Amino acid sequence: MSPGSFVARRLLLGAAQTAAVVLLVFALTEALPGDAAVALAGDQPDPARIAALREALELDRPAHERLADWAAGLLHGDLGTSLTSGRPVTRYLADGFGPTLLLAGLTLALLVPLGFGLGVLAARRAGGALDRLISSVSLAVYAVPEFALGVLLVTVFALRLAWLPPTAVGYGTDLLGHPAALVLPVLVLLARPVCSLSRLVRAGMVDALAAPYTAHARRYGVPERRILWWHALPGAAAPAVQQLARTADWLLCGVVVVEALFVIPGLGTVLLNAVAERDVPVVQGLAVVFGVVTVVLNLGADLVAHRLTPRAGAAA
């Protein structure tokens, strides 16, 4: 199958998948106890007030009708308006997207070289002291929960040493104007994926470095670096790339802990709030975004995997 038609089919399937994501999320939010009216009422759950709210928010209409209306709007590029605030959902997404994208982008930009670099380094010295050091440290960091790591980093670098701001509070969306505020969140975000990525890279690389084709490239004095990155890595990269896609997805879809800890109002926060408020249109809008992001990332990862196993189509 040619890559072109592969992509086309997958994108088509992707549209269906996104629809499925939206449906799933809609069904799940509907299944949650309470609705926007209940959530709005909060600790004053006066039944009459809830009923009035329900009517005002048109929540008394059947679920399928609301979904259909929303879907019809989507076809015109209209993601609807928030139940809670009446503002357009696109504004929620736009506001949340900036910080999230920035964080995710920065993290990925560091993650890829770091994860692959450490993995390759560990694999080169597999069984040696360096490998053990890298593995143990990254695993230990991985096993420390994010909040603990975050608190630790903040305490040391922001509060004790005062090198960096402890949170991004008050910086609004203008995070780029305060690069120092991004250092700690990015570090915390990096901590876990670096480990998972480097472990997968290491695993693949240990096998790839022991493979005869690597030895063959060495025989001809191909520079070690080139061998590592061009000859060994392709044999090891497919799972790592999948992991990377998952990480990117995770970064985009909800790095809730980091957002909360460092007061960065990204998409994760928007999602949490929207779910708490049962703000179905916002949740739906996010589901569309997450659906599309996931589809695209997975497709990307699959294309790489596809490319790395060219024999797959030909083998019996």
> Looking only at residues 86 through 125 of this chain, which bind other proteins when binding is defined by CB under 8 A?
87, 91-92, 95-96
For other proteins, which is the closer residue by CB, 110 or 246? 246
Q: Does 44 bind other proteins (CB under 8 A)?
A: yes
**Tokens standing for residue 235:** 């044999």
Tell me the C-alpha distance between 225 and 233, whole Å.
11
Tell me the C-alpha distance between 267 and 259, whole Å.
9
Residue 62 C-beta: closest distance to other proteins, Å:
18
Task: Check residue 232 and report its DSSP letter.
Answer: I
Residue 65 C-beta: closest distance to other proteins, Å:
21
Residue 89 C-beta: closest distance to other proteins, Å:
10
Q: Is 88 left (phi over 0), alpha (psi -120 to 50) or beta?
A: beta
Query: Tokens 């990015």 — which residue?
Result: 186
- Report how many helices (DSSP H) and strands (DSSP E) the chain contains, helices first: 14, 0
Tell me the C-alpha distance between 284 and 271, whole Å.
10
- Pair 227, 218: CB distance under 8 Å: yes
For other proteins, which is the closer residue by CB, 108 or 281? 281
For other proteins, which is the closer residue by CB, 75 or 314? 314
* Strand partners of residue 88: 81
CA distances from 19 to 70, 75, 221, 288 (A): 12, 12, 52, 8
Q: Does 284 bind other proteins (CB under 8 A)?
A: no
Non-local (6+) Cβ contacts of 86 within 8 A are none
Residue 129 C-beta: closest distance to other proteins, Å:
10
> Looking only at residues 45 through 84 of this chain, which bind other proteins when binding is defined by CB under 8 A?
45-50, 52-53, 56, 82, 84
**Tokens standing for residue 180:** 């120092």
Choices 37-45, 60-68, 72-80, 110-118; region in contact with other proteins by CB under 8 A: 37-45
For other proteins, which is the closer residue by CB, 112 or 222? 222
**Binding string to other proteins for residues 212 to 241, with x set by CB under 8 A, is what?**
xx-xxx-xxxxx--x---xx--xx--xx-x
- Pair 121, 197: CB distance under 8 Å: no
> Looking only at residues 296 through 315 of this chain, which bind other proteins when binding is defined by CB under 8 A?
298, 301, 305, 307-312, 314-315
Residue 172 C-beta: closest distance to other proteins, Å:
5
Residue 102 C-beta: closest distance to other proteins, Å:
15
Residue 219 C-beta: closest distance to other proteins, Å:
5
Non-local (6+) Cβ contacts of 213 within 8 A are 231, 235
For other proteins, which is the closer residue by CB, 35 or 106? 35
Cα–Cα–Cα angle for 200, 205, 206, rounded to 5 degrees: 105
CA distances from 229 to 176, 180, 259 (A): 32, 32, 34
Choices 63-71, 72-80, 105-113, 250-258; region in contact with other proteins by CB under 8 A: 250-258
Residue 66 C-beta: closest distance to other proteins, Å:
18
> Looking only at residues 160 through 219 of this chain, which bind other proteins when binding is defined by CB under 8 A?
162, 165-167, 169-170, 172-173, 195-196, 199-200, 202-204, 206-207, 210, 212-213, 215-217, 219
